[in-house]
Structure 1
């Protein structure tokens, strides 16, 4: 079965194994996005609140993960470059996730939840740069986009599946185990998160090895440039792709925290909002791999520029449409835009990264995307008071800035490409 899957996705066996591993830990980690707010408001947790409301505590717990994760990625990326030990860093992160997932079972105070979630953010910062660097180093210029697409597809499958199952696991509890031992729905959810992280750890341990090139070239100059050294552009292309990733992520994440306002304006319930929220992820899952493969043939830049351009109207229209169906279509269009940007951008950055520096170079994109995911909800929560359309206008401005930056500052990394049989924007 595993060989059939390898043939179907046409990637290195280790890339597919890593993709499955990230899918497993993604299920457990995204479980917590749903479970933690329910846990905080369940009455099980107590202790000092430091004058903060429960909703504010939930916001701190969830956002702390993203900010610490993104902040530590450049450091862990550099360290994995210097040591040439991608697998070790991934295992450290997965081990940290497994332990901290188990720690939730024993957490009894708000402060302990904050500490645990913060440690999880740091743990994941070990996983992401090393994983993306490993995929980059196991790929070649001719198949890098496809490898990135497959990796992101499975990771997003895990991330999307977790929240769907999490609520059901909590609501169906308590459970009676063999021997008469009963556990609550919350504890069951935390144990599932432990199991998925442990399964991911096992997959990486058994199936993943570091490329020889990483060991041979680690320790090179690990600096990340902001300005273009060639003098032909203003900004370094990898730094530019990072800025574009931040703009894209923030524009897409605006939607997450304004559910009451969206539902009221569109006259819809939670089911429609869930479908609209999931539309972005569905588009990503369906399109990441084919777009990744296509950018190996036709070039990275046309897809990135076109995706950023599509992001502009698909973000703006959300502030003005009045039906649930229209919002679903707009979110689906955002997902298409994101799929056109993410895998090709990672592939382009991977093409430009010197051997042994994939961790530090590609962490610029993953870090920026994480900050964008954190900035988006914060911005929409603050701007929604000035009118429903205001957050989306803000996101549109960000998307337009990202499109302009990519179009003017990023050149194609592939030496030869086939003509694209579609009118993509920005093709050379």
Structure 2
């Protein structure tokens, strides 16, 4: 296994530990994205019951999906800081994966709305151990000259898992129940999905255990507190660049995540089934899988800022149009182009923040972006669940406003961090 990872890592020109971590995140991403599709279907089935606290089904789904993001994001500054202090990135990733595997398995016994809420919250805490330590590890294994490419490769493999899960999830649920070779026992489609999610988390745990080691240079010399500077200390701009990127990530993630909660409304609006929705949900990820690595490497050459600004600008029309499309095919195209926008922002933003992070600060500094993105993933489902009652297009108009604000922020408050960049080629140049 180590030889295979080393060989593939050489092809991608990254540290083998970055690639191994990317493979591990790909495995747990499959299971986690399974749940994004399965949970709304599970809530809408006859299996789940109990009190709904007076909330509609759409709002219940929004709450359950959003709790993951809220707990995940709330704990990330703490876990990022602790991983800086201890220098034990691998240990934190393993703790999170163990928690994720356990909570995935517990879904098999969840039959009330309250139990789903509790499990999803615990999953958020588990993943809060994984994300800051993983991104910090990638950052510390990279240099200024190749940081964007490393972030791109890491995100590419992670998103392969997250993007493939939704396509398979609906098919797994719909094809159940499954007969077992032992007696006349059967497994429902929902239980099969939860088994798959658990298995992928276990595989990820084993990969990290066998293939990941902490960098020898990681030191416990992070900042004295967990505070996030808001004002730009240099005085050149109003806002701190990392804080600005965090706000832009929050707005972008919220716009992206509007889609997940309103699966039922989207399917009704477009007169389509769950499988089409799975493809549309995954379209965003497909674009990023194809573009993360080349964009990451391009931002090492041409600079971080141009890609971030263009990506935020592209997010505006690609979010708005989703509220007005009338066919499954055009919704897929809109989500695909929204994925292009996200790809232009993700790796360059992490690379820019990594450029600005001091030694031993990767977990704390980069957790600002991952925390903000997590909060956006949580706010998006809640927002669309609450706004869709006013009209199908309303959630997407809300997301468009946020995307516009984010574009203005990055254009006015972010400066380039690479000292030597080449001009971005223009079509028609010799």
**TM-score between the two structures when normalised by the length of structure 1:** 0.91
* 314-323 or 336-345, which deviates more: 314-323
Residues 349-428 of structure 1: pairs in structure 2 closer than 5 A: 349-422=353-426
Contact 1:83–1:219, Cα closer than 8 Å, also in 2:
no
Distance 2:68 2:168 in 1: 21
Q: 5+ residue gaps in structure 1?
A: 424-428
- Cα deviation, residue 156, structure 1: 0.9
What is the Cα deviation at residue 266 of structure 1?
Answer: 5.1
Whether the aligned pair in 1 keeps the contact of 2:66 and 2:381 (CA below 8 Å) is no
Tell me what 1:426 maps to.
none
Counterpart position of 2:134: 131
Q: Is the contact between residue 85 and residue 215 of structure 1 (CA under 8 Å) also seen in structure 2?
A: no
1:19-418 pair list within 5 angstroms? 19-52=22-55, 55-170=58-173, 171-178=175-182, 182-215=186-219, 217-218=221-222, 223-259=227-263, 261-263=265-267, 270=274, 272-418=276-422
User: Which of 3-12 and 382-391 deviates more?
Assistant: 382-391
Shift of 1:67: 1.2
**Does the residue aligned with 2:385 lie in a helix, a strand or coil?**
helix
Q: Quick one: structure 1 residues 275 and 47, their matched pair in 2 at CA, closer, same or farther if it must change by over 3 Å?
A: closer
Q: 1:195 to 1:385 in 2, by over 3 A?
A: closer
Unpaired runs of 5+ in structure 2? none
Contact 2:250–2:375, Cα closer than 8 Å, also in 1 = yes
C-alpha distance 98-329 of structure 1, shift in aligned 2 (>3 A) = closer
8 Å contact kept, 1:73–1:363:
yes
In structure 2, the CA distance between the partners of 1:333 and 1:220, relative to structure 1 (3 Å rule), is same
Q: Deviations over 1:156-209 (max 9, x none)?
A: 111112222223333332331457764443333222222211111111111111
Matched positions, count: 423
| CA distance 1:411–1:389, shift in 2 (3 Å) | same
Q: CA deviation at 1:57?
A: 3.6
Please give the per-residue CA displacement for 1:304-354, whole angstroms capped at 9, x wherever unaligned.
Answer: 011111112222333444454443332222111110001100000001011
> Please, what is the CA RMSD of the aligned residues?
2.4
Q: 1:177 to 1:141 in 2, by over 3 A?
A: farther
TM-aligned CA deviation for residue 51 of structure 1: 4.8
How far the C-alpha of 1:53 sits from its partner, in A, is 5.3
Change (3 A) 1:160 1:41: same
Deviations along 1:36-81, whole A, 9 cap, x unmatched? 3333444344445545555544332222111111111111111111
Give the C-alpha shift of residue 273 in structure 1.
4.1
SS in structure 2 at match of 1:230: coil
